[in-house]
Structure 1
Amino acid sequence: MDNDRSNIANVPETARAPLVCAIAYDGLCTFEFGIAIELFALPRPEFQHWYRFAAVKAEPGPLRATGGITIDAEDDLGLLQDASLIVISGWRGADMPVPAELCTALRDAHARGARIASICSGVFVLAAAGLLDGKTATTHWRYTDMLAARFPKITVDPDVLFVENQGIYTSAGSAAGLDLGLHIIRQDFGAQAAASVARRLVLPAQRDGGQRQFVPRPEPKARIGSNLATLQDCIRASIDENWPIARMAKTAGTSARSLARRFHEETAATPIQWLTAERVSRAAELLENNNMPLTDVWEACGFGSAETFRREFRKVMGVPPVKYRERLGAL
């Protein structure tokens, strides 16, 4: 044991730094790949320890990225065997095949102990490699139904920003990759380092993976000449007021039963579900953009009580109002 420790101590510090490998491929998603570069490849002289970084080709041949950019990367999947973290920055298409050599290299690296993270459509690479079977995963909300249909062994959570499961990380739409990356940095180097990186990115230091991707705001399919659309605009303009079903129906000039049917047809929600989502959305805007006391926020949005406000906000957004303001409103 003492000899092992001595050998480790004699290894140069840069060689002991965690190696992050980002997979590059033809048709590369430029923004998602840029997230990996910004988080893990950018020099951080303010820190004593940081990552090493390598871009690794998914397959031989020239690599072009969105926007006409040409990528020069290491043509050696064997590098993945030395990686502490492998990042799959999107994929060239959710229905595009994944090279068998890449799948094998990812499985071998994970079996050796490497962590693997996907951003957005990169989840389809992990799924093709079988690394998500029996696990929960997420991706951009546009792809969640496709992922669930094509890979029924995966439990797909369509709402969250990212999921961590036995060394496999999956994140939602593009920018959620930043939240996941900061989460990984926090695990590797601590909260202070993650907060420093977030400040340079002008981002909240932490958003929980369980926070929802977006606030669902069902809209009617046809707004022109729609009594329902008129009612919705009226409610939004006075959302701080009490809006029971009877008042909604009277304002729309219809019966409560007909109103419920119209809401279901045009928004796939009940009138109360739609109203709650609107109130939460308005509350989120107030929390983000000003320092209004929480008491004034729930009153301005018509929640009726602080308890109802906290319960409904957390149900929709995945975090309490106070945490939401701390992480988003501080910007």
Structure 2
Amino acid sequence: MTIFIVPDDFPTVQAVIDNVVPPILVSGDSIEVRAGMFPSFVLPDEDQNVDPLERVRIAGCGIGRTIFFGGASDGVVIDGSPQTYLKDFTVQGYSGSGVLLQVGPNLSGDNCVIENVEATFNEVGFDIQTDDNTLVNNIATSNATGEGDGFEISGSTNFLKGNTSKENTTGYHVSGILNRLANNVAKENTEDGFLLDDSGSITILDGNTALKNNIGINCQTDNNRIVENKVCNNTTIGIALVGAEGAEPNGNRVDWNIVRGNGTMGQPDNAGIFVIDGAGTVEPNSITFNKLKLNEDFSILDGAGLATPNIYNGNVCTDNPSSPMEACDPGIN
């Protein structure tokens, strides 16, 4: 294994990647980047390095110290290099994605690890189009132009833990299948904290915090598990089961969440948990053992009312009623 130092050995990361006569960067090598500001890079550069590269480690000196600064459409691009490890830097000011994992011409670019990386002032912070990646302790802030997603997950079977998404348009936008998000924070995003859109399904959200977004968790699709999250002080709805027209959510489990102080804007249909009319008609949604307090106007609001096909059990609601009343344990509203 060889370690290359930027800018001591080469002026940029891309210069290491593009040095192919002889090819000095091989699978298993590391690139360490000192403090400073550097341009974007693509690994591998398909115009220069046609051989697949695996297990390459690229590490900076820390968030705010090593900075890849805007100028190209995307910042740090992993173009089909599996098991790449990215750590300890900031990606800032790109008109596209700050960090992009995509399928390359030779390999699929799966099984990458991104740890302690900040993406700020890009169109999208982290754009994950491949599978089986792990994102731990990363930060996405102020990615609010265009799509404005802090984390955009269109690949499958990815795992996100301990990340923070703040002041973006959407905090976490999940459209792939079989992804899991655990112990992440979505705070002060102008639209959704967590969006499970109607092109994906079978996502697990557990132990996350959604705070002061427009909608805390917006579930538009089927067969997801939303468990033990804290969903507080979002301006309209805490947890929404509201799919695209004609594709209302079915078969979701919304269990053991703390849902508090949502609906601060005072608009119609504000609620701690809102279930649109038609949701659950194919397979009932199960909404059980949630603790709801100080939500406006309803603790739980099901658009189908007494005709709801959904299952409610053990929900504890204080300060505000539910509709239908059976959605909360009797006498605890």
Q: TM-score range by the shorter chain?
A: under 0.3
Higher RCO (CA < 8 A, seq sep 6+): 1
TM (normalized to structure 2)?
0.26
Larger Rg: 1
Higher strand share: 2
TM (normalized to structure 1)?
0.27
Higher helix share: 1
